[in-house]
């Protein structure tokens, strides 16, 4: 997100979200920032009723503004262009929120919706987006079909006597795969059962998996859980899930 008028801004904001949009809307250029204090900038954002960045981030931005060697010509035109782009982004964001709300409303009519959202750490938005990609999970005879659809089938690269490592095929719907990855982090932090599975694979004594590899395991497990809840019309039971994974419960007891 670096800008020729504000060099180094990307080091303060590594991701572009609502906080960054607020900064660009209220203080788009270095000259709007460099003479202010972090407290003044945060207060200005609060008064605008916007999602604001914290003082440490604003202090870093002020320091960058004071040492910026970005272009100074055409600043006024750049200000107008940035304001126009911010307005467009706000409109798109509002439209996206409206579409997301409508997707959730439609997904609630599907028979499995209430059972899928019973998994702690899984939001209604996640379930609605997933069902938009897959359709009703009751249409699948086996979770392997959904795993294949997501491109999460494991393939081994081997030749002769050499046994290669297993990698996911990635021959599936990229958006579905990305959605599953995005769903895993909240599960690890908020769902004890899934956290136990992740911890086991990532820290087991024999052949521990890397973080990303363990997350792939959880993606596949989440698909299996979702398929089971959908087919059985049942709410999520963490004890039941761990009971089916005896090797994990045994490691926890040890």
Q: Are residues 45 and 74 in the same domain?
A: yes
Q: Are residues 171 and 207 in the same domain?
A: yes
Tell which residue, 190, 198, 187, 214, has the closest CA to residue 251: 198
Tell me which of 79 and 157 has the higher pLDDT.
79
Q: pLDDT tens for residues 200-226?
A: 999 988 889 999 999 999 999 999 999
The residue segments making up the domain with residue 22 are 9-101
pLDDT at 247 over 60: yes
The residues, ordered by sequence, that sit 6+ positions from 16 with a Cβ below 8 Å of its Cβ are 1
Tell which residue, 221, 194, 234, has the closest CA to residue 114: 234
Q: How many CB atoms are located within 10 Å of the residue 117 CB? A: 21
**Residue 74 domain flag:** yes
Asked if 147 contacts 153 with a C-beta cutoff of 8 angstroms, the reply is: yes
The last residue of one of the domains, among 57, 75, 101, is 101
Work out the pLDDT band at 166, boundaries 50, 70, 90. Answer: low
Give the pLDDT of residue 156: 60
**Residue 1 domain flag:** no
| Count of residues making up the chain | 254
The last residue of one of the domains, among 42, 76, 101, is 101
Q: Are residues 116 and 229 in the same domain?
A: yes
Q: How far is CA 12 from CA 4, 9, 60, 134, 244, in A?
A: 15, 5, 6, 38, 46
Domain count for the chain: 2
Give the pLDDT of residue 218: 95
**Residue 150 domain flag:** yes
77 membership: H or E segment, kind and range:
helix 75-107
Cα 85 to chain centroid, rounded: 24
Q: How far is CA 151 from CA 172, 183, 191, 225, in A?
A: 4, 16, 25, 17
pTM, rounded to two decimals: 0.74
User: What is d(CA 219, CA 183) in angstroms, rounded to the nearest whole number?
Assistant: 8
User: What is d(CA 100, CA 107) in angstroms, rounded to the nearest whole number?
Assistant: 10
Q: Are residues 126 and 76 in the same domain?
A: no
Give the pLDDT of residue 71: 57
pLDDT at 69 over 90: no
Tell me which of 131 and 163 has the higher pLDDT.
131
- Three-class DSSP labels, 25-37: HHCCCHHHCCCCC
pLDDT at 80 over 90: no
The residues, ordered by sequence, that sit 6+ positions from 52 with a Cβ below 8 Å of its Cβ are 19, 22, 42, 45, 46
Q: Are residues 60 and 124 in the same domain?
A: no
**Residue 175 domain flag:** yes
Q: What is the largest CA-CA distance in the chain?
A: 68
Q: Are residues 130 and 234 in the same domain?
A: yes
């Amino acid at each position: 997100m670096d800008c020729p008028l504000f060099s180094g801004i990307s080091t303060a904001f590594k991701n572009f979200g609502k906080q960054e949009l607020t900064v660009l809307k209220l203080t788009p250029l270095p000259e709007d920032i460099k003479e202010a204090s972090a407290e003044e900038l945060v207060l200005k954002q609060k008064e605008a009723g916007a999602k604001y960045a914290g003082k440490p981030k604003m202090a870093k931005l002020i320091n960058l503004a004071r040492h910026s060697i970005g272009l100074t010509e055409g600043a006024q035109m750049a200000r107008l262009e940035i304001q126009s782009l911010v307005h467009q982004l706000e409109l798109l964001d509002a439209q996206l929120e409206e579409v997301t709300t409508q997707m959730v409303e439609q997904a609630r009519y599907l028979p499995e919706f209430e059972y899928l959202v019973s998994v702690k750490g899984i939001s209604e938005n996640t379930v609605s987006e997933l069902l938009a990609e897959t359709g009703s999970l009751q249409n699948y005879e086996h979770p392997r079909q959904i795993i294949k659809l997501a491109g999460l089938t494991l393939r081994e690269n081997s030749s002769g006597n050499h046994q290669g490592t297993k990698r996911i095929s990635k021959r599936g719907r990229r958006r579905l795969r990305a959605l599953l990855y995005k769903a895993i982090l909240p599960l690890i932090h908020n769902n004890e059962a899934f956290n136990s599975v992740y911890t086991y694979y990532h820290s087991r004594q024999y052949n521990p998996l890397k973080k990303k590899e363990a997350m792939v395991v959880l993606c596949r497990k989440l698909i299996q859980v979702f398929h089971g809840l959908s087919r059985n019309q049942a709410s999520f039971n963490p004890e039941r899930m761990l009971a089916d994974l005896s090797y994990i419960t045994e490691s926890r007891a040890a």
